[in-house]
Amino acid sequence: MLESLSSSLQNVFRSLRGYGKLNEKNVKDALREVRMALLEADVHFRVAKDFTKQVRDRCLGQDVLESVTPGQQIVKRVHEEMTELFGGAHTDFNLEDRPAGVMLLGLHGSGKTTTAGKLAHYWMSSGKSVVLAACDIRRPAAVEQLSTLAKQEGAACVAPREGDTVPDVAARARREASEQQADIVIYDTGGRFQIDEDLVHELEEIREAVQPADTVLVLDAAIGQESVEVARRFHEAVGLTGLILTKLDGDARGGAALSVHSMTGCPILMTGTGERPEDLEPFYPERMASRILGMGDVVSLVEKAQQNIDEDDARRMQEKLAKNTFDLQDFHDQMQQMKKMGPMENILKMLPGAGELPEQVKSQLGGAGDNMKRQEAIIRSMTPKERHKPSIINASRRRRIARGSGVRMSEVNELLKNFDRTRKMTRQMKKMRKRLPGIPNFP
C-alpha cells in the first residue's frame, strides 16, 4: 500500500540524517522533495502544497534547526502533519441505535457489495448480529452476490420480492432486524457508472424510509484523482458521514485517496486492502502516517493477531511445544493460523524499520508465504500417522510425498530436517530448564 510514496519519503529523511545540523536551505530542499514524492503518488496538488507549507512552518523553528537530531525532528513534524491530513483522530460508525443503520453507496465496481460482506464479517467476529439488505434491485447479480456473502458469514440477508421498490426492501430489512433484535443493518444500495439525479433520488428515498445513522461512500482508491471528485460530488448531493477506501492494496496511485479527507472534510472510517472478507481495517490517521513514514504499526499488528489467532489454540500449541509432543499436524495447523493474518509482505510493513531492510532480505521474507504454501502441500500429502511420527518417513515414503505435493524430494528432506532440528532444540531447552530453573519457559 502506497509503497513508492513510503520509500521516496524515507529516502528524503535518510539523507537528512546525514547532517549534524540543518539550516533553512536543507529544510526547504528536503521539503521540495517531499512535495515531489506526494505529487508522484497522485496526492492532490493543493493538498501537497499546503502540506509542505505547514511542515516547513513547523520545522523552521529553533527547536528543529538547533536540535542535535534534526532528521528525527523533521520526521516527527511530518508525522504530526500527516496525521492531521488524514483526519486527526479515528472516527467510528454511529452504532448506538439498535438496530444501527449503515447505508453504503458508491459507483459501480467501487467494491460496495464486497465491503458490505467485509463489514458483516468484521462486526460478527466481535459478536454483533448483522442483517444485510440487498437494495440494488436492478442487478440480480448484485443481490445474488450479497446473499452468497451473507450465507458465508452467517448473516441474515433481506432480498427484494416481486414488485418491491428500493425503499420497500430497505424498510423490510429494518423491520426484520428490529424483530430479530439485530445490532446492525447494512444497506447495499444500487450503483451507477456516474452520480446522477436518479441515483441521488433513490438514495434519498432509502434514507427517508430507514433513517440510517451512517451514510458511507465506498470509494475506489485505485481511480486516482477522480476519487476526490467523486467523493466531493456525493458529499454535496447526499451528505456523507464517512468514507471507506477500497483497493488500497494494489495501486501506487492510492495517494489521491489520501487527499480525500482534506478535500471533502469527510472522515475515513475504514480501508479495504484485498478481496477476502477479512481484508478490511479500521482507519487510524496516526497509524497510517506511521506506516507511510516507515515507523511501523505495531498496535494494528497486535490487534490483527488478537482477531485472527485463537488464544486457546495458541495455549495448546505452547503446551505441546513445552512437552515436545508438537507434531507435523500441529505445524500445519499453525501455518493455517498464520495465514489468517494476511500475506507476509503486509505483516512486514507493520514492523518499524522494515522499509530500511535490504531488498534481498525483504524479498526473502516476502517469499516466506510461497514457502509456507509448499510446506503445507508437503504435509497434506502425508498420512496422519506420518504427520504424527515423522521418523517413519523413509526414502520411499519421501518419494511418494514429493510426487503427491508436486515438489522436489530435496524440499521434503529439508522440511523434515528442519522439523527434527526444532524438536531437538526444544528438548535441549527443556533439559536446561530443569538444570537451571531461572531460564524462562520455552517458547
Distance between terminal CA atoms of the chain? 33
β 242-246/268-272 pair status: parallel
Note the residue count of the chain.
443
Q: Which is nearer to ligand GDP, 113 or 264 (CB)?
A: 113
Residue 109 annotated in ligand binding: yes
Select the residue interacting with ligand GDP from 275, 319, 370, 420 (CB under 6 A). 275
212 binds ligand GDP (CB under 6 A): no
277 binds ligand GDP (CB under 6 A): no
Residue 249 annotated in ligand binding: yes
Q: Which stretch binds ligand GDP (CB under 6 A): 232-240, 269-277, 337-345, 382-390?
A: 269-277
Amino acid identity, residue 117? G
Q: Which is nearer to ligand GDP, 114 or 227 (CB)?
A: 114
Residue nearest to ligand GDP (CB): 272
Residue 107 annotated in ligand binding: yes
Q: Minimum distance from CB of 342 to ligand GDP (Å)? A: 12
SS3 of residue 6 by DSSP: helix
Select the residue interacting with ligand GDP from 113, 262, 375, 381 (CB under 6 A). 113
Q: Which is nearer to ligand GDP, 177 or 248 (CB)?
A: 248
Q: Which stretch binds ligand GDP (CB under 6 A): 223-231, 266-274, 378-386, 389-397?
A: 266-274
Q: Minimum distance from CB of 193 to ligand GDP (Å)? A: 10
CA atoms of 205 and 210, how far apart (whole Å) = 9
H-only helix segments in 60-160:
62-65, 70-85, 112-125, 140-153
106 binds ligand GDP (CB under 6 A): yes
Q: Minimum distance from CB of 143 to ligand GDP (Å)? A: 11
Residue 83 annotated in ligand binding: no
Handedness of CA 334, 340, 342, 348 (dihedral sign): negative
Residue whose grid cell is 504454501: 373
Q: Minimum distance from CB of 251 to ligand GDP (Å)? A: 9
Dihedral angle over CA of 84, 85, 86, 87, nearest 10 = 50
- Mark residues 224-263: x for contact with ligand GDP by CB under 6 A, - for none: ----------------------xx-xx-------------
Of 257, 245, 243, the residue nearest 215 (C-alpha): 243
Q: Which stretch binds ligand GDP (CB under 6 A): 53-61, 109-117, 233-241, 409-417?
A: 109-117
Residue 115 annotated in ligand binding: no
Q: Which is nearer to ligand GDP, 88 or 250 (CB)?
A: 250
Residue 146 near residue 277, CB atoms below 8 Å: no
**DSSP states along 307-341:** HHS-HHHHHHHHHHHHHT---HHHHHHHHHHHHHT
Residue 246 annotated in ligand binding: yes
Q: Which is nearer to ligand GDP, 59 or 142 (CB)?
A: 142
Query: Nearest-5° angle of CA 358, CA 362, CA 365?
Result: 140
Residue 183 near residue 130, CB atoms below 8 Å: yes
Q: Minimum distance from CB of 158 to ligand GDP (Å)? A: 17
Residue 374 near residue 402, CB atoms below 8 Å: no
CA atoms of 203 and 188, how far apart (whole Å) = 11
Residues from 151 through 190 that contact ligand GDP (CB under 6 A): none
- Binding residues for ligand GDP, total number by CB under 6 A: 18
Residues from 190 through 209 that contact ligand GDP (CB under 6 A): 191
Angle, helices 70-85 vs 285-292, to 10°: value is: 140
Burial label, 357 (beta-carbon count in 10 A; 0-12, 13-18, 19+) = middle
Q: Minimum distance from CB of 248 to ligand GDP (Å)? A: 7
Residues from 306 through 345 that contact ligand GDP (CB under 6 A): none
Q: Which stretch binds ligand GDP (CB under 6 A): 108-116, 306-314, 330-338, 392-400?
A: 108-116
Residue 269 annotated in ligand binding: no
H-only helix segments in 225-367:
226-238, 255-258, 260-264, 285-292, 298-308, 311-323, 328-340, 344-349, 359-366
Point out the annotated binding site: 106-113, 246-249
Residues lying near ligand GDP in the complex (CB under 6 A) are found at 106, 108-114, 191, 246-247, 249-250, 272-275, 279
Point out the annotated binding site for GTP: 106-113, 246-249
